[in-house]
Amino acid sequence: MVKRNENFTKLTAGYLFPEINRRKKLVAEKNPNAKIISLGVGDTTLPLSLHITEGLLKESNALSTKEGYSGYGDEQGMTSLRRKISENIYGGAVSPDEVFVSDGAKCDISRLQVLFGKDASVAIQDPSYPVYVDGSVIIGATGKYNEKKGQFDKIVYMKCTPENNFFPDLENLPRTDLIYFCSPNNPTGAVATREELKKLVDFAKKNKSIILFDSAYSFFISDEKLPKSIYEVEGAKEVAIEISSFSKPAGFTGVRLGWTVVPQLLSYDDGSSVNKDWNRVMTTLFNGASNVAQYGGLYALDNKGVVEMKETIDHYLENTRLIKNALESFNIKTYGGTNAPYIWAHFPGKKSWDVFEEILNKTFVVTTPGAGFGPAGEGFLRFSGFNTRENTLEAIERLKKLKF
C-alpha cells in the first residue's frame, strides 16, 4: 500500500466551501420545500454577455475548420491576449513578456507554491483566502499545526482587523521569503491605499522578500484614488508578482482564465531570474490556457467587453450596497463592500459558525463563517454580492426577521 502524504493530515478542516455545502445540504434535506439563497460562496451568477460568448463561439467554430484548427498553443498564452492585458489592464506598465496567461488565479497560486517550494517561509494575511494556507500545507511549507493558537508554526500570520484598518503591522512583522497580499481583500473587502502598498513594497525591498499580490477583485475598485495593481507603486516590479483573473469581472469562474505577471526585474538572491523559472514551471507543469477561453478573454477586454464587464460589476456592487445598508440598519457593524464584492460583518462575542448556523436554519440564507478564513476571522461573517437582485432582496427581507 502507498503511504499517505502526511501533509494532508495537517489540513485543519475540510476546505471551507465544501463544508458550507455539506451543512447547506443537511438543512435542504430537512426542509425540502425551502428555497435556500446563498450569500456565501464567491461564485458569479450573471450569465456571460453575448459579446463575450461571440468570442468563445468564434474560436470554437474555427476549430472545426482546417485553417482555423489549433492544437497546443504558446504556454505563456496568446500574444494578442498578453498584449491586451499589458495595455488595457496595466496601461503598459508591464510588458507582454511579463504576462503569463493561465487557467485561473487559484491554479497559478498553487503553481507559485511549487515554484518557491516548501522551504520558502511565508507570511499570510489573517483572515485570508484559504488557498494560501492550504496550498502551503499541501506542499509542506507550514510546519506543525498549533491547536491552541489555531495556527501553523512556520506561517507568519499578518493580523488584519478593524483595529489596524485591515493592514498588517509591518513594524513588528518578522522577515519571510514570501508575503501573500490580497487587495481588494477576500474576505474582508478591504482595499489597501497607495500609501499602504508603498509601505508593503518598501518592507519587501528592505527584507529582500517577494510579494505575491492577488488582485482577482481589482475590477471592483471604483474609487480612483485606490490602486488596482501593485505595479502602480514605484519599485514594485523589483519585489512583486501579481496574480489575477477573468473569473469575477467577466463571469469566467467556469470558463477558466487568469494571468500572472512576473516582472523581468524580479530576481532571487543569486541574481537569477524568477521570470525564467516561472516560464519553466508553466511550460513543464501547464500546457497553456484553453484557446477557446483565451478568445473569450480577448473579447472581454475590447471596448464593448469592458463596458459590459463594468455593468456586471455594478450589478454585484449594488447588491453589496443593499446588503451592507440592511446589515447596518440592524446595528451590525460592517466593513468592505464598497470597492469589493464582499462585506465583512462583525458579531462580537459570537462564534462565526454559530451565527452561520442560526441564519441558515432560521432564514435559509447561506453566509460564510469568518473563522474559516483564519483565527482573526472569528466573530465575523462574510456576505457576498454575487447573486441576482431578486435573491439578494429576498435574502434581506428574510434577514430582517432575525433578531441579531
Could you tell me which of 14, 18, 45 has the C-alpha nearest to residue 253? Answer: 45
Residue 105 C-beta: closest distance to ligand PLP, Å: 4
User: Closer CB to ligand PLP, residue 209 or residue 253?
Assistant: 253
Residue 279 C-beta: closest distance to ligand PLP, Å: 20
Could you tell me which of 132, 146, 139, 209 has the C-alpha nearest to residue 173? Answer: 209
**Applying CB under 6 A, does 105 fall inside the site for ligand PLP?**
yes
Q: Which stretch binds ligand PLP (CB under 6 A): 11-19, 102-110, 204-212, 301-309?
A: 102-110
How many residues touch ligand PLP (CB under 6 A)?
13
Residue 290 C-beta: closest distance to ligand PLP, Å: 13
Residues whose CB is less than 8 angstroms from the CB of residue 272 and which lie 6 or more positions away in sequence, other chains included: none
Give the number of other CB atoms < 10 A from CB of residue 107: 19
User: Rule CB under 6 A: which of 38-57 touch ligand PLP?
Assistant: 42
**Applying CB under 6 A, does 258 fall inside the site for ligand PLP?**
yes
**Applying CB under 6 A, does 359 fall inside the site for ligand PLP?**
no
User: Closer CB to ligand PLP, residue 293 or residue 326?
Assistant: 293
Rounded to an integer, what distance in angstroms lies between the CA atom of residue 127 and that of residue 378? Answer: 9
Rg (CA), the chain: 21
Output b/e per residue, 183-219; b: 16+ Cβ within 10 A: bbbbbbbbbbbeebbbbbbebbeebebbbbbbbbbbb
Residue 391 C-beta: closest distance to ligand PLP, Å: 19
Q: Which of 216, 261, 293, 309 binds ligand PLP (CB under 6 A)?
A: 216
DSSP result, 380-404: EEEEE--S-HHHHHHHHHHHHTS--
Residue 243 C-beta: closest distance to ligand PLP, Å: 7
User: Rule CB under 6 A: which of 108-137 touch ligand PLP?
Assistant: 129
User: Closer CB to ligand PLP, residue 363 or residue 377?
Assistant: 377
Q: Which element (helix H / strand E) includes 18?
A: helix 16-30
Q: Which of 253, 291, 320, 363 binds ligand PLP (CB under 6 A)?
A: 253
**Applying CB under 6 A, does 86 fall inside the site for ligand PLP?**
no
**Applying CB under 6 A, does 250 fall inside the site for ligand PLP?**
no
Q: Which element (helix H / strand E) includes 123?
A: strand 122-126
**Applying CB under 6 A, does 183 fall inside the site for ligand PLP?**
no
The cell for 139 is 506542499
Q: Which element (helix H / strand E) includes 109?
A: helix 105-116
User: Closer CB to ligand PLP, residue 356 or residue 373?
Assistant: 373
Q: Which element (helix H / strand E) includes 212?
A: strand 210-214
Is 254 in a helix, a strand, or coil?
Answer: coil
**Applying CB under 6 A, does 245 fall inside the site for ligand PLP?**
yes
Residue 245 C-beta: closest distance to ligand PLP, Å: 3
User: Rule CB under 6 A: which of 296-355 touch ligand PLP?
Assistant: none
Residue 206 C-beta: closest distance to ligand PLP, Å: 26
Is 120 in a helix, a strand, or coil?
Answer: coil
Indicate the pairing of strand 99-102 with strand 151-152. unpaired
Q: Which element (helix H / strand E) includes 345?
A: strand 342-346
Residue 102 C-beta: closest distance to ligand PLP, Å: 8
Q: Which of 40, 55, 104, 288 binds ligand PLP (CB under 6 A)?
A: 104
Residue 242 C-beta: closest distance to ligand PLP, Å: 11
Q: Which of 59, 98, 177, 214 binds ligand PLP (CB under 6 A)?
A: 214
Q: Which of 142, 209, 229, 247 binds ligand PLP (CB under 6 A)?
A: 247
Residue 163 C-beta: closest distance to ligand PLP, Å: 22
Residues whose CB is less than 8 angstroms from the CB of residue 297 and which lie 6 or more positions away in sequence, other chains included: 55, 81, 84, 101, 246, 250, 252, 257
Q: Which stretch binds ligand PLP (CB under 6 A): 103-111, 333-341, 367-375, 396-404?
A: 103-111
Rounded to an integer, what distance in angstroms lies between the CA atom of residue 174 and that of residue 109? Answer: 23
Binding site for ligand PLP (CB under 6 A): 42, 104-106, 129, 182, 186, 214, 216, 245, 247, 253, 258
